[in-house]
């Protein structure tokens, strides 16, 4: 799943986060290509928004 999909308001990932069964099974979230947070952060602002997941989860 891409950062754009994760951070999309009212997207599929947000619907999953509202599903209690799904959330009960979440153990961790891993971001591959984390170097893109600094390299692409200006190009794709969603990469900088990924830190919000910590509070959502």
Query: Does residue 4 contact residue 46 with C-beta atoms inside 8 Å?
Result: yes
Single pTM value for the model: 0.56
Residue with tokens 């009212």: 10
Query: Which of 2-16 are b and which e, b meaning 16 or more Cβ less than 10 Å from the residue's Cβ?
Result: ebeebbeeeeeeeee
Average pLDDT, whole number, for the chain? Answer: 79
Q: What is the CB neighbour count within 10 angstroms for residue 46?
A: 15
Quick one: pLDDT at residue 42? 66
Confidence of residue 40 (pLDDT cuts 50, 70, 90): low
Mean pLDDT, to the nearest integer, of 24-32?
83
Is 70 exceeded by the pLDDT of residue 28?
yes
Q: Is the dihedral of CA 1, 14, 34, 36 positive or negative?
A: positive
């Amino acid at each position: 799943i891409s950062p754009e999909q994760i951070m999309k308001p009212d997207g599929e990932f947000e619907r999953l986060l509202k599903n209690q069964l799904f959330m009960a099974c979440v153990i961790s979230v891993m971001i591959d290509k984390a170097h893109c947070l600094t390299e692409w952060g200006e190009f794709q602002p969603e990469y900088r928004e990924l830190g919000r997941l910590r509070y959502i989860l």
